[in-house]
A = this chain, B = another copy of it.
Amino acid sequence: MTTVGPTGDDLVEMLAALANPLRMRIVARLADRRDYVSHLAREIGVSRPLLHMHLRKLEAAGLIVGNLELSEDGKAMKYYEVTDFSLHLTASALAEAAKTLTPEKGPGAEEHS
Contacts and interface: CB of A to CB of B under 8 A. Distances in A.
A85 B28 CA distance: 23
Interface residues of A: mostly helix, strand, loop or mixed? helix
Contacts of A27: 91, 94-95, 98
A62 interface: no
A91 B95 contact: no
- Oligomeric state, in copies: 2
B24 A98 contact: yes
B98 A90 contact: no
Interface of A: 8-9, 11-12, 15-16, 18-22, 24-25, 27-28, 30-32, 45, 82-92, 94-95, 97-99, 101-102, 104, 106
